[in-house]
Amino acid sequence: WIVEALKVGSFQKFCSSLEPILHRV
């Protein structure tokens, strides 16, 4: 469903934005 797709998309964006922070630690 579209809401689930939006949730997954925003979660992937969130993870990709966290990734450089995690690599820095």
Whether residue 13 is predicted with pLDDT greater than 90 in this model: the reply is yes
Residues 7, 20: Cα–Cα separation, whole Å: 21
Measured over the CA atoms of residue 18, residue 22, residue 23 and residue 25, the dihedral's sign is positive
How confident is residue 15, by pLDDT bands cut at 50, 70 and 90?
Answer: confident
Q: How many helices (H) and strands (E) does the chain have?
A: 1, 0
Whether residue 2 is predicted with pLDDT greater than 90 in this model: the reply is no
Residues 19, 10: Cα–Cα separation, whole Å: 14
Residues 10, 17: Cα–Cα separation, whole Å: 10
pTM of the model: 0.48
Whether residue 1 is predicted with pLDDT greater than 90 in this model: the reply is no
pLDDT at 10: 93
* pLDDT > 90 in the chain, percent: 44
